[in-house]
Amino acid sequence: MTKFFTLNTGAAIPWLGFGTGSALYGKDAANLVRLAIDNNITHLDGAQVYNNEDSLGAGIKAAGKPRSDLFVTTKLGKLAPGETVKESLKASLNKLGLGYVDLFLIHDPSPATKEGKLSQLWEGMEEVHREGLAKAIGVSNFKVEDLKVILESGKIVPAVNQIELHPYVWKAAEPIVKLAQEHGIVIESYSGQTPVARVQGGPLDEVLAQIRERLEKTRGKAVTTGQVLSKWLLQKDIVVVTTTSKVERMKEFLDTETVPDLTPEETQAIDEGGAKLHKRVYMHHVFGE
């Protein structure tokens, strides 16, 4: 993997992350994590709520890659009564078998927002960053108003906001992306393959097929619709977090780097086609849907 984005900490984050949620939720991820690392996917994305941090750690250990070559993320779930962010992260680090994570995210703003404690929660995140337990801190599933709370009250600007992002939520997500990028916050996408994985027969099908054909002619070798979607994200300066159980798909994701760029007209066609259908897969409660 040769393409990286730069976080506001100065750290480099690989553009492609292997996620251990969705299909791996609550399951043993060790073998697939090892396979991902063996196939040069060094950015690994976990979470407390996925209930498999121990197997993520086991996969990392089995791969035998130097820790400095890996970029590991986990996410804070809901704190138990009286539990601190630091205690919660230390429990995750024990499961992962690591001394630190490269990125630690608040997974869901809604529990803290309901209690009016989002600023207080971010103070706990800042503490684990200061102590070196998390090299960078950020958020996930944050709306514009949630980001503004942190930006106005916090001492540290989040490094990342990881959100569901694909053409069928682009219209709703664009203000979030715009605010984040104005403040140097990197956007990470999950569920980026939704138009091909979950919405067959949607308004984008023909648009994506035409773009894929053009790219194949330009490139002189096969291009998948999934690569078109990943390219669309990449050209918006967005990190792609995805998952698969197949080595061929891992190689396909990595190969996206060598796919020719979309033209401005093609990007616009995807934006406009996506705007014809709103389809969110996750976190409906956060976005009031």
Q: Residues comprising the binding site for substrate?
A: 107
Q: Is residue 190 annotated as a catalytic residue, yes or no?
A: no
For residue 140, which of 101, 187, 107, 173 has the smallest C-alpha distance? 107
Known binding-site residue numbers: 107
Q: Which of the residues 50, 100, 190, 282 is marked catalytic?
A: 50
Burial zone of 225 (CB within 10 Å; 0-12 exposed, 13-18 middle, 19+ buried): middle
Active-site residue numbers? 50
